[in-house]
């Protein structure tokens, strides 16, 4: 599988400078990372919908689209497939290949990202309202 994704990545890199009028990949690069992210999200949703519906063939087709759009976004972000494979190996060493790192885990060697400051919410005073007679 990694060979196929590596070949796809190389093809995406080769196509990014083609004519956007004839190349979907070049058109995505021209439109920017926001459009790429939107296309990736759309494909992910389609995979989910088809999986829930039990449509295996559609899941296969939409998964191919999802991988294509993920690869385009990687190329735009300067992420190489080998970067992802290295992260997968690191995670496998920590938890096993079939596990995902919890969001709360601390990345060894990297400081945790700063959390945004939370705005305080003013407390409302409890007041007793009396009816006037």
pTM over 0.75: no
pLDDT tens readout for residues 57-81: 999 999 999 999 999 999 999 999 9
What mean pLDDT do residues 32-52 have? 97
State percent of the chain over pLDDT 70. Answer: 72
C-alpha distances (whole Å) from 75 to each of 53, 79, 97 are 32, 6, 25
User: 59 or 117, which is more confident?
Assistant: 59
Q: Which fold is adopted by the domain 2-95? A: Helix Hairpins (1.10.287)
**Half-sphere exposure in the Cβ direction for 91 (13 Å, CA):** 14
Give me the pLDDT at residue 125, please: 45
Give me the pLDDT at residue 84, please: 94
Confidence bin at 113 (pLDDT 50/70/90): low
Give me the pLDDT at residue 44, please: 98
Confidence bin at 2 (pLDDT 50/70/90): confident
Q: How far apart are CA 111 and CA 106, in angstroms?
A: 8
What's the CA angle centered on 83, arms 106 and 27, to 5 degrees?
Answer: 120
What mean pLDDT do residues 110-127 have? 50
């Amino acid at each position: 599988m990694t060979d196929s994704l590596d070949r796809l990545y190389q093809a995406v890199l080769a196509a990014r400078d083609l004519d956007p009028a004839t190349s979907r990949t070049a058109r995505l690069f021209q439109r920017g990372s926001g459009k790429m992210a939107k296309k990736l999200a759309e494909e992910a949703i389609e995979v989910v919908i088809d999986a829930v519906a039990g449509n295996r063939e559609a899941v296969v087709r939409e998964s191919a689209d999802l991988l294509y759009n993920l690869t385009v976004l990687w190329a735009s972000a300067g992420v190489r497939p080998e970067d992802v494979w290295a992260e997968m190996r690191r995670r496998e060493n920590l938890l096993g290949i079939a596990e995902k790192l919890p969001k709360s885990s601390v990345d060894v060697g990297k400081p945790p990202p700063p959390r945004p400051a939370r705005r305080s919410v003013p407390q409302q005073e409890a007041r007793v309202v009396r009816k006037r007679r």
